[in-house]
Structure 1
Amino acid sequence: MDLLIVDDEALARQRLARMVERLEGYRLVAQAADAAEAMAAMAEHDPDVVLCDIRMPGQDGLQLAQQISTMEDPPAIIFCTAYDEYALDAFGAQAVDYLLKPVSDEKLQAALNKAQKVNRAQLAALAQADSDVSADSRKHISARTRRGVELIPLDAIHYFLADHKYVTVYHDDNETLIDDTLKELEQEFPERFVRVHRNALVAIKAIEGMERSPQGQYRLRLKGLDHQPVVSRRHVSPLREFLSRL
């Protein structure tokens, strides 16, 4: 699992970083001193878990957590703080755990185990996909183009890719901008499309396999396409297990 540490105190970040290094199966991908740096680090590294302080200059940890919760595919949050009065607010912000400084190795490990259970919920959702088909779900995605409204059959769609405020659907005939968000599409069509990255949904029937590139990235092979969407590290394990059952 990939971790991001957010704390305005350098010594506190260094102490947590040393603790993470001692744990097997975890990798520290970035550190941040405030909320702005944290959001930039998340955009670049897509961590599984954020270890976050609460009292920080500018936007505090609770406000950061609220911002994170609005993301398409948010990481789990574990608060690490010297103050115990924010516990209720922290869990209200969907935190996985609330650790008081100085954090012990045992409590950090226990909190990360909880975060892993949260990630396993992704796998459960994927496994449920085939049984969630709705007879009433739409069979097309509509897009407003210069020619008017274009109806794109779901069966013709290979994947959706988000870039800032826009979502592009890649389909048999072309690529088209649409108004739907990835989150809306993921919730509406869990039986057809699987999340492989915070910015990508891929048609399950289009997947031929997953492979690791020479640069270390995981990518999907799609039927009839040269382009291979990137799979983020946090989605590799649940996606691999899901594909093994197809």
Structure 2
Amino acid sequence: MRVAICDEDKESCAQLGQLIRRQEPECEVMYFHSVGQFLEVRRHFDILLLDIQTENMRGMEAARALRISGDDTVLIFVTARKEYAAEAFEVSAFYYLLKPVDEGKFCEVFQGACREVHRLENARGGQLFFQTKTRNFTVQKRDILYVESAKRQVEIHTLKENITVYATMKHMEAQLGKEFYRCHRGYLVNLAYVAGYGNGTVRLRNGENVYLAREKYSGFVKTYTEYLKRKGAALV
């Protein structure tokens, strides 16, 4: 799960980050100390913790920009300003927390936000949402052939096009689920498009080959066999 914290107060950012990692150690947490910095990144976050009281109230502006773009990030305002609570509902905020933050209340709200993230994922029916510098888009999981690591980015190979986005392989592996297998540290393959395997490669139905690491071989065979059984394939 990917979480963003946008707050000019570095101590507040650190406190919230500690509370998050205490509950969800595997969370990827990114810190932004200005709204401008956050908007420049143009990455999708599952949860955004946002202070309204930044740069002449640009926190609300950032929230509106997200919603206009179609981003369904679970939004939690964390602020000392009570008077903007009504506006928070205009941008479909999940919760409005007042500073100083009560740790017990924050943990309760954050767990609720995590449940909302999972609900949204299920509602999307197998879609992934991405942002680049030029556009926002969704990708159907069923259209992904494989994912390839590219330094700090990943390249998503789909039936129609290749898309490069800022993400980690670990994040993609978690998002794509059991229909995909990490056959190499640099590759995630969609089991639905596997045509065969051997000699250090996985052969896809479109004729492409991706690397199959030696240490991943037995795990891949087991996972792929289980996948075929789930799909009702006859094994000989």
SS of the residue corresponding to residue 78 of structure 2 reads: strand
> Which residue does 1:213 correspond to in 2?
149
Summarize deviations over 1:48-69 as a string: whole Å, max 9, x none. 2211112223243222211221
Change (3 A) 1:202 1:61: closer
The residue type equivalent to 2:82 in the other structure is D
**Does residue 1:16 correspond to 2:16, yes or no?**
yes
Letter in 1 for 2:177: R
Where structure 2 has 5 or more consecutive residues not aligned to the other structure, the ranges are 181-226, 232-236
The total of aligned residue pairs comes to 176
Structure 2 equivalent of residue 30 of structure 1: 31
User: Are residues 1:103 and 2:101 paired?
Assistant: yes
Residue in structure 1 matched with residue 202 of structure 2 by the alignment: none
Q: Deviations over 1:109-164 (max 9, x none)?
A: 2222222233223332343x7xxxxxxxxxxxxxxxxxxxxxxxxxxxxxxxxxxx
Alpha-carbon spacing, 1:66–1:118, altered in 2? closer, same or farther (3 Å): same
Question: Is 1:197 matched with 2:130?
Answer: yes
Residue in structure 2 matching 1:54, options 49, 52, 55: 52
CA distance in 1, matches of 2:89, 2:31: 24
Alpha-carbon offset, residue 80 of structure 1: 0.8
**8 Å CA contact retained: 2:143, 2:159:** yes
Q: % of aligned pairs identical?
A: 22
Q: Indicate if the aligned counterparts of 1:6 and 1:32 stay in contact, CA closer than 8 A.
A: yes
1:196–1:32 Cα change, 3 Å? same
Distance 1:59 1:125, change over 3 A: same
Contact 2:19/2:107 (<8 A) preserved: no
Normalising by structure 2, what TM-score? 0.58
C-alpha distance 205-11 of structure 1, shift in aligned 2 (>3 A):
closer
1:116 aligns with 2:53: no
Aligned counterparts, 1:65-76, within 5 A: 65-76=63-74
- Alpha-carbon deviation of 1:95? 0.8
Q: How many angstroms does 1:236 deviate by? A: 5.4
Task: Tell me the amino acid that sits aligned with residue 128 of structure 2.
Answer: R
**Kindly tell me: are residues 126 and 238 of structure 1, through their superposed partners in 2, closer, same or farther at Cα, counting changes over 3 Å?**
farther
Q: CA deviation at 1:92?
A: 2.5
Secondary structure at the counterpart of residue 5 of structure 2: strand
Distance 1:48 1:236, change over 3 A: farther
Question: Normalized against structure 1, the TM-score is what?
Answer: 0.56
Q: Which amino acid aligns with 1:82?
A: A
Distance 1:228 1:77 in 2: 26
- Unpaired runs of 5+ residues, structure 1, are 130-193
SS of the residue aligned with 2:82? coil
| Separation of aligned partners in 2, 1:64 and 1:215 | 29
Alignment of 1:40 onto 2:18? no
| Deviation of the 1:98 alpha carbon | 1.2
Q: Is residue 53–residue 80 contact of structure 1 (8 Å, CA) maintained in 2?
A: yes
Structure 2 residue identity aligned to 1:71: S
1:46-195 correspondence runs (5 A): 46-127=44-125, 194-195=127-128
* Aligned counterparts of 1:63 and 1:101: Cα–Cα separation in 2: 20
Contact 1:195 1:202 in 2 (8 A): yes
SS in 2 for 1:22: helix
